[in-house]
Amino acid sequence: MPSTHRDVAPGPRPTSRDVARAAGVSQATVSLVLGGKWQGRVSPRTAAAVREAATDLGYRPNLAARDLRLGSTRTALLVVPALTSEFFGNVYAGAVAVAAEHGFGLVLYPSPQGVGTARNPFESTRGALDGVIASSMAADALREIRGSFPGGQALPLVMLDSAPPTAPGDPGHREPDAPAPAARDTTATVNHDLADGMRQVVGHLTGLGHRRITHLGAAIDSWTFRVRSRTFRESMATVPDAVPGSEPADLSVGGGQTAARRALTGPGPRPTALVCDDDTIAAGACKAVRRLGLSVPGDVSVTGFDDLSLATALDPELTTVRLPAQQLGAHGMRALLDLLAGSFTERPPLPVTLAVRDSTAPAPRR
Amino acid sequence: MPSTHRDVAPGPRPTSRDVARAAGVSQATVSLVLGGKWQGRVSPRTAAAVREAATDLGYRPNLAARDLRLGSTRTALLVVPALTSEFFGNVYAGAVAVAAEHGFGLVLYPSPQGVGTARNPFESTRGALDGVIASSMAADALREIRGSFPGGQALPLVMLDSAPPTAPGDPGHREPDAPAPAARDTTATVNHDLADGMRQVVGHLTGLGHRRITHLGAAIDSWTFRVRSRTFRESMATVPDAVPGSEPADLSVGGGQTAARRALTGPGPRPTALVCDDDTIAAGACKAVRRLGLSVPGDVSVTGFDDLSLATALDPELTTVRLPAQQLGAHGMRALLDLLAGSFTERPPLPVTLAVRDSTAPAPRR
DNA sequence: CTGTTAGCGCTTTCAT
DNA sequence: ATGAAAGCGCTAACAG
């Protein structure tokens, strides 16, 4: 008894031809309908029939074939310094959501130091790319990325927290990370308003009476941290009697601890507040404070950046600048889409807020 | 002046035909040589010529075309509960390294709760897959994954810390997560030796004189946490005078804090040690201890699982079970490769070690 | 040893 | 309003 059920198709994946056959039309019609461009070219009745046949068979287009035909892969690459931080997890989540809405795929490349991965992102990458999004990358890593792409400069690139905004009418001085003018139309930047965040930190601290404040800056040569340093100096300069200090710190708990110890035990009067470039450094700073027999925030106030879950895991909970990483990713993907459509316009940086918790308190009197 | 430089090819990506032309051979020969299967079919001289032409032009094969032709994509999907934890960052790093060695791609799917992502991993996935690796997934999520794949049961699946090992000759009792026999040959498991980890924790604590020990177990129905609970009970049962307790905890700092408060303020004598299913819960537990005016480890010892960077960010640093997440990923990818090659054999679980730090101390006397 | 050929599944003119 | 046919870049039979 040869059974030829039509709706329970076993065997391999159905193709658009199978759908066509099932709907009694041609492959071209199927493509039109399923591609959403059948308005006024295919009768509503046949369109419906095609769609029914498609769902019936559980048809899913073969991406490889489509990509081959179209030349474009509708895929972007997200380059991050390390996957290990929840910050980048959030950036990814934001970006991938927007990508999905527009039928784009997003593949991850955890950059340089990521253990065991190929040095060149494009070697490790499957197929071709329509663009790349780079988040919080160091200046040289970024250069390397652009350079290493075969046919380089043409690839649309959006940088997240990685470069100053491309000022439309700004002549003269150019920051080291600023994209070369030639690449202007294939490059976009999306940033958190880090300067404002730092200003809020300094305002909060000076408002509490702190004057001797030391900045524990991440020892990484990238825009995202340079802004913090510069704004810290500028903000402190506006406060009478302010005594700013600064200590470079490795981007880790241990790094923060070491830097904080240096800051706290150096010559001159001891700072009453430590402003850290990141929550991890802040965690180290808190440890250092206690190792010296001092207390947070009684003797020394400590602040961070990011507002990772680490911030509330610490005790006391960390006062920190909350960066909407997910939004950053989402805006980044949107910017890339705009770039691809040739319609990108720079937007203002993403606003950030200061989450005031228990690691900051009024400066100890004398 | 029409210039026709051959070695500085501008314009679009070179194809294998371009390489063929440049090397003065046919496309087929190029494919053979670059595919590495020319032994005894192409003369070494021509092979060399082809390779030179290829590098010369900066040729990179078009993956879409290759995939279309081969039907297979050499791509695996890694499903993780959330990208936000560095644990999964490490799993990914380990897996992607092995994948790259074998010319495989690895795409990430941060599962269910991940904001804004499609519910079905295969909808969000570009192109076809050769297999999937699922890490530390809850039982139902795992079921859903298998079910949702079009043509389901056939897809090779390796589960990391997600199910008991497939005991070759084990009849009778089957755990709820155990793969159905039908799927046996397309399913593999790779696990940390979590039971041993828990045994080490209990041994360490009872060695320090603790008897009233409460387990703060993650409130998630998955194998990885069930093993911890069961082993905790079993281990405690072997210790005379031991008074085991247990409290479910949400997998977060807040969850740990709440659970610990319940454990510490409940009726009966207060536990002197809290065994947590994960470092995050442990962080919350430490906070709870202090909120009650007690100290870690003076009054209450606390232990975790994972050994994330959080463990040393805390103060005092956390005694915790170190799980080699990166190895887990690597072994997982290898297992998938073996499955694909039809030559998988179950291996013993990955050994874990107890990192003894400052959050555990001898039990307070009386 | 090397070249010719066919075809993977899809989109897109161009006819009808 | 629909169908026929070509071709994206690659690999694998099959000839020579």
Q: Would A351 be classed as within a structural domain? A: no
For the four alpha carbons of B313, B317, B323 and B326, in that order, the dihedral sign comes to positive
List CB contacts of A331: < 8 A, sequence separation 6 or more: A94, A190, A347, A350
- pLDDT at residue A279, as a whole number: 97
What residue is closest to C5 (Cα–C1')? B28
Instruction: Report how far residue B316's alpha carbon sits from residue B311's, in angstroms, rounded to the nearest whole number.
Output: 9
CATH of the domain at B270: 3.40.50.2300
Closest CA to A278 of B313, B85, B84: B313
Q: Number of A:B CB contacts under 8 A?
A: 162
- pLDDT at residue A98, as a whole number: 92
Instruction: Report how far residue A186's alpha carbon sits from residue A179's, in angstroms, rounded to the nearest whole number.
Output: 10
Closest CA to B259 of B290, B220, B217, B294: B217
Q: Would B8 be classed as within a structural domain? A: no
Indicate if A167 and A220 belong to the same structural domain: no
- pLDDT at residue B3, as a whole number: 37
Indicate if B332 and B252 belong to the same structural domain: no
Q: What is the domain range of residue B295? A: 194-323
Indicate if B211 and B265 belong to the same structural domain: yes
Indicate if A133 and A224 belong to the same structural domain: no
Indicate if A126 and A184 belong to the same structural domain: yes
- pLDDT at residue A2, as a whole number: 38
Length of chain A: 366
Helix (H, G, I), strand (E, B) or coil at B192: strand
Indicate if B93 and B157 belong to the same structural domain: yes
Q: Would A80 be classed as within a structural domain? A: yes
Indicate if A30 and A122 belong to the same structural domain: no
For the four alpha carbons of B117, B122, B126 and B132, in that order, the dihedral sign comes to positive
Low-confidence ranges of chain B (pLDDT < 70): 1-12, 83-84, 111-127, 146-154, 167-175, 179-184, 366
CATH of the domain at A22: 1.10.260
Instruction: Report how far residue B189's alpha carbon sits from residue B169's, in angstroms, rounded to the nearest whole number.
Output: 16
Instruction: Report how far residue A211's alpha carbon sits from residue A11's, in angstroms, rounded to the nearest whole number.
Output: 74
Phi and psi angles of residue A52, each rounded to the nearest 5 degrees, phi first: -65, -45
Phi and psi angles of residue B267, each rounded to the nearest 5 degrees, phi first: -70, 160
Question: How many domains would you assign to chain A?
Answer: 3
- pLDDT at residue A135, as a whole number: 92
Indicate if A53 and A105 belong to the same structural domain: no
Indicate if B218 and B272 belong to the same structural domain: yes
Indicate if A182 and A226 belong to the same structural domain: no
Q: Would B33 be classed as within a structural domain? A: yes
Which amino acid belongs to residue A319?
Answer: T
Phi and psi angles of residue A35, each rounded to the nearest 5 degrees, phi first: -80, -5
Closest CA to B310 of B274, B358, B278: B278
Per-residue pLDDT of chain A (366 residues; tens, 9 = 90+): 333 333 333 466 789 999 999 999 999 999 999 888 888 888 888 988 899 999 988 888 888 899 888 888 888 989 888 766 889 989 998 998 899 888 888 888 876 554 344 455 565 566 678 888 999 987 777 777 666 665 545 688 899 999 888 765 555 556 667 666 555 568 899 999 999 999 999 999 999 999 999 999 999 999 999 999 999 999 999 999 999 999 999 999 999 999 999 999 999 999 999 999 999 999 999 999 999 999 999 999 999 999 999 999 999 999 999 999 999 999 999 999 999 888 889 999 999 999 999 999 999 986
Could you report how far apart the first and last alpha carbons of chain A are, in Å?
A: 97
Indicate if B133 and B179 belong to the same structural domain: yes
What Å value separates CA B23 and C1' D16? 21
Chain A residues with CB under 8 Å of B108 CB are: 92, 108
Q: Would B135 be classed as within a structural domain? A: yes
- pLDDT at residue B164, as a whole number: 86
Q: Would B350 be classed as within a structural domain? A: no
Closest CA to A190 of A231, A220, A161, A156: A161
Q: Would B349 be classed as within a structural domain? A: no
- pLDDT at residue A212, as a whole number: 98
Q: Which nucleotides of D are covered by protein (CB under 7 A)?
A: 1-13
Indicate if B225 and B306 belong to the same structural domain: yes
The residue among B126, B257, B294, B312 with the most chain A CBs within 10 A of its CB, best to mutate, is B126
Contact A117 B93 (CB under 8 A): yes
Instruction: Report how far residue B188's alpha carbon sits from residue B347's, in angstroms, rounded to the nearest whole number.
Output: 10
The residue among A96, A250, A257, A358 with the most chain B CBs within 10 A of its CB, best to mutate, is A96
Q: Would A261 be classed as within a structural domain? A: yes
What residue is closest to C8 (Cα–C1')? B69
> Which pTM was predicted?
0.89
- pLDDT at residue A186, as a whole number: 81
- pLDDT at residue B270, as a whole number: 97
Which amino acid belongs to residue B76?
Answer: A
